[in-house]
Amino acid sequence: MELRGKHLIGGRIAAEASTTFQAAVAATGEPLDPPYYEATAAEVDSALRGAESSFDALRGSAHEVRADLLDRIADQIVALGDALLERAHLETGLPLARLTAERGRAVNQMRLFAELLREGSWVEARIDRGQPERQPLPKPDVRRMLIPLGPIVVFGASNFPLAIGVVGTDTVCALAAGCPVVVKGHPAHPGTGEMLGTAVHSALEATGLPLESFSLLHGAGHELGLALVRHPATRAVAFTGSLRGGRALYDAAAARPDPIPVYAEMGSTNPVFLLPGALEQRAEQIAEGYIGSVTMGVGQFCTNPGIVLGLEAPGLGRFLDAAGRLANATTPATMLHAGIQRTFDAGLERVARTKGVRTIGRSAEPAAGACQAASAVFATDPQTIEAEPHLKEELFGPASIVVQCRDVAEMVRYAESLEGQLTATLHGTEEDLRTYERLVRVLERKVGRLVFNGFPTGIEVCAAMHHGGPYPATTDPHFTSIGTAAIHRFVRPVCYQGFPDAALPPELRNRNARRIWRLVDNQFTKEDA
């Protein structure tokens, strides 16, 4: 398809500003056509007013219609074919094989949410039937379910242009809930975003839903994002990116006359704890999986294992030797864009220069001027990592630090000192879990997902997944940004008391026409009330 470099606002192509920016080939820095127009304040207002005007029609549409919309978006993305993958490869540097797999994830999660809508129980219908004869006071008839919030602003992520981008989980579950969406595309891959945006518009046309239910705006600066958050029609925000960016949006939303939620996923160091039983049995195998996880996607995952803690023992020595050899053997690889590469290089050198830190493995240096990262693994002790706070910060790229602990008490102290994390991983035996139960209990308070004998990179998109965690990993640990439970970010409960049956939403009426699971008088059932 021909790229226009313009915004998709409802059903129209728009570009009012004279200011433009260009994406670049990630590997070389060469500018990519076309130039993209910066969204104006008027275009922000037009997109969100359109979203607001479409809300009643979208939320009032049948679940089957919205499920059909998601299936059609998936079909449209597949129909874009290799052109989508090739543009994404140019803009992000991600290999075509990785992008092909990511497209599969994006399409599958759309179909997963379509299934969720067709099944229908996600609305969490609760019915407490009235008891007018109850003494000393009658019991009223009370019924409750989840309803959509309204227009949602979505910020596309840099590292998953297809699965957490313009039509990623945030957009998909908002549309599934019945919420219109306005997306701020990521400026590093606007061409990819434009192609995905057209897929949504085509699907909306085919289902007869309002075209104003989706808009895509482009912009390279921070002003656009803040304008979207501050607009009075915006009801919630979804963001994946840096702590600095997420916190700025959160603060802007809190400062509104009517504060709104910002669901920001901002990354973490995802500590890995190596317990004695596992080190004794399979130190080298753990090292292999560890280096594979550190270097996966050039380390550009929010679940990248940035810190490893192991008890000093012969098994830890074997782990360090194997990890060092494997890190030395890796080759530099292209990062998403030059800004990420510069930040990573600066952070890598700061760690390498820190007193008390030694390098145990590092790949060859990239060619001069290349937008590439060298992989590196460092080692230190608990005293150094406590004395140098920057060692605890996320280093977004293929690097990690191993902390050699003298006893489990040092591990537990580190766990207790942790800020909120997306994940923590334990490598051990079942006996280790019993022996070091205290460590597990501490980590439960600090993270959103605990992994046993695996690695946190590679997230299964499913109903049970929780991709979130206490601040600063996210701004709200109650919610996930991956998996079908992500839909709960964009809905709220409404209670109906004393309403006649015919005036209730179908899900709360006495006759359970959709045969969904409902909590009726404290019992889950699919029967009529």
Rounded mean pLDDT, 478-497:
98
For residue 8, give both structure tokens: 């998709």
179 catalytic residue (yes or no): no
Sign, Cα dihedral of 484, 489, 491, 494: positive
User: Which of 302, 371, 394, 507 does the annotation list as catalytic?
Assistant: 302
Give the per-residue pLDDT at 314: 87
Give the per-residue pLDDT at 148: 98
Q: What is the pLDDT of residues 87-134, one digit of tens each?
A: 999 999 999 999 999 999 999 999 999 999 999 999 999 999 999 999
Give the per-residue pLDDT at 276: 94
Rounded mean pLDDT, 381-393:
95
Q: What is the DSSP string of 456-469?
A: SSS---STT-----
Predicted confidence band at 368 (pLDDT cuts at 50, 70, 90)? confident
Q: What is the pLDDT of residues 127-136, one digit of tens each?
A: 999 999 999 9
Give CA–CA dist 243/341, Å, rounded.
Answer: 17
What stretch(es) of the chain map to CATH 3.40.605.10? 7-22+32-266+481-488
Give the per-residue pLDDT at 409: 94
Give the per-residue pLDDT at 17: 87
Rounded mean pLDDT, 157-167:
95
- The values of phi and psi at residue 206, to 5°, are -65, -30
Predicted confidence band at 329 (pLDDT cuts at 50, 70, 90)? very high
Beta-bridge partners for 152:
181, 236
Predicted confidence band at 312 (pLDDT cuts at 50, 70, 90)? confident
Judged against a pLDDT cut of 90, whether residue 157 lies above it is answered with yes
Judged against a pLDDT cut of 90, whether residue 406 lies above it is answered with yes
> pTM of the prediction?
0.96
CB 194 within 8 Å of CB 8? yes
For residue 454, give both structure tokens: 């695996």
Give CA–CA dist 501/261, Å, rounded.
Answer: 33
**What does pLDDT average to over the chain?**
96
Per DSSP, the chain holds a count of helices (H) and strands (E) of 15, 23
Sign, Cα dihedral of 328, 330, 333, 336: negative
Specify whether domain 7-22+32-266+481-488 bears CATH 3.40.605.10. yes
Rounded mean pLDDT, 446-459:
96
Quickly count: other Cβ atoms within 10 Å of residue 32's Cβ: 18
Give the per-residue pLDDT at 186: 97
Rounded mean pLDDT, 251-265:
98
Rounded mean pLDDT, 147-151:
98
CB 182 within 8 Å of CB 221? no
Predicted confidence band at 313 (pLDDT cuts at 50, 70, 90)? confident
495 catalytic residue (yes or no): no
Which residues, other chains included, contact 2 with Cβ-Cβ below 8 Å and sequence gap of 6+? none
Q: What is the pLDDT of residues 215-229, one digit of tens each?
A: 999 999 899 999 999
Give the per-residue pLDDT at 222: 92
Architecture of domain 272-452: 3-Layer(aba) Sandwich (3.40)
Judged against a pLDDT cut of 90, whether residue 343 lies above it is answered with yes
What stretch(es) of the chain map to CATH 3.40.309.10? 272-452
Give the per-residue pLDDT at 36: 98
Judged against a pLDDT cut of 90, whether residue 412 lies above it is answered with yes
User: Which of 265, 394, 410, 507 does the annotation list as catalytic?
Assistant: 265
Give CA–CA dist 514/529, Å, rounded.
Answer: 13
Lowest mean pLDDT among 16-20, 93-97, 351-355: 16-20
Judged against a pLDDT cut of 90, whether residue 38 lies above it is answered with yes
Give the per-residue pLDDT at 137: 96
Judged against a pLDDT cut of 90, whether residue 267 lies above it is answered with no
CB 12 within 8 Å of CB 177? no
Give the per-residue pLDDT at 477: 97
